[in-house]
Amino acid sequence: MARDADLLARIESHDAVVGIIGLGYVGLPLAVAFAEAGFRTLGFDVKPSVVEGINAGRSHITDIASGRLSKLTGADGRLEATTDFGRLTEADAVVICVPTPLSKTDDPDLSFVVSASEAVRAGLRPGQLVVLESTTYPGTTRDLVQPMLEETGLTAGEDFFLAFSPERVDPANPVWHIENTPKVVGGLTPACHRLTTALYREVIDDVVEVSSPEAAEMAKLIENTFRAVNIGLMNEMAIVADRLGIDIWEVIDAASTKPYGFMRFVPGPGLGGHCIPVDPIFLAWKMRTLQYRTRFIELAAEVNGDMPRWVVAKTAEALNRARKPVNGSRVLVLGVSYKPDVDDVRESPALDIIELLRQRGARVEYHDPLVPEVEIEEETHRSVPLTAETLAGSDAVVITTDHSAVDYGMVTRHASIVIDPRNAVREPENAVVYPIAGPPRGARAPEA
């Protein structure tokens, strides 16, 4: 039997062993999905604490409950985690789910992809399928991963199989998850494509096939570039509305009633997370190598990147109206994760806001129910309790992440000034609330 036919039969019978490299917010849910579908699944991670926790049935990410994980681990379980990358030889299909951050010069940092590919290469055997899920620029699968794996003397599409399928994970999303989010697949050859499609169809409701790895790589980048550009537009509209003295949230609510031709995006304190602030820069970097300037991407990144400074300026304005300087004022920042109800602080604008306020002399504390401590400029900050005393003792409160667990009624009862770029407070009880744009709200709001 041909190698591709043999692997296809193993996938369809669920006899194939699936290996997942990287057990973070992308890899762990995927590993759980394959294990729950009946596949023996090996998870690989460089962090012993992550591996030990998973094998003990303890989840370290919010999207996978420990109770769900514990049913799959243990002596007789279908899911096992390990730091021993030599065991990649046991896997029939290997999925790479490692981070792809930007360097300090905004160049793609593919060091984790390279390390994972080196680990796969060390034990690559005929008949294996390798799928890259890590977000990257078009051409990475064909130009970087394929040559590395073919250094073994094996040929992609004949001896082993290679494809790209971008992760589409939205942490803490109550509706869309691994199983019901359509999965884009682009194989290097028809055999690669057929095997990858078959693998994901065993765990995902809808697999979307495209013609090449490059098309799949580009699809992920255009998704998040679309979001980044439209968020940038709304951030600029917030500044416009503020100059005109108009409540931007009222305007967005009104525009959203149009049943066609308008898609709701909202402004905020800046972009965070691994995807939206990062993915468009991958595309911009790739196009610079081809002597083309992606002007929309660069402008959106500039506008979005300036929003933490806008929030700090709003905070200074609010304090000034209360005849208080930023220097020496006590400011409480609510939320340091990049989005509500997750503990992920990567690229969080809250960290920039904290540092900018500190540079202006403010005494800054933060509260986040999901992030007990965080490193900012190599200094450890710890979350303070959210109490009436903490709120009353703060000269200003800045809502940077609108966690659902926070009682915003209590916040506005005890705080005197609240800066609310997230629109978390609609009816302030006592505090004067300064939205991201437009006049302040509340019974004690000063006249403009």
State the catalytic residues: 275
Tell me the one-letter amino acid at 161. F
441 bridge partner residues: 433
Q: Which of 24, 22, 20 minimizes the C-alpha distance to 344?
A: 24
Lookup: tokens for 3: 């190698």
DSSP structural state of residue 134 = S
Backbone angles phi, psi at 62, to 5 degrees: -70, -25
Q: Are 108 and 100 in contact (CB under 8 A)?
A: yes
Backbone angles phi, psi at 316, to 5 degrees: -65, -40
* DSSP of 184-200: EEEESSHHHHHHHHHHH
Q: Are 334 and 369 in contact (CB under 8 A)?
A: no
Burial class (CB in 10 A: 0-12, 13-18, 19+), 196: buried
User: What share of residues in the chain are helix, strand, coil (percent, to 5)?
Assistant: 40, 15, 45
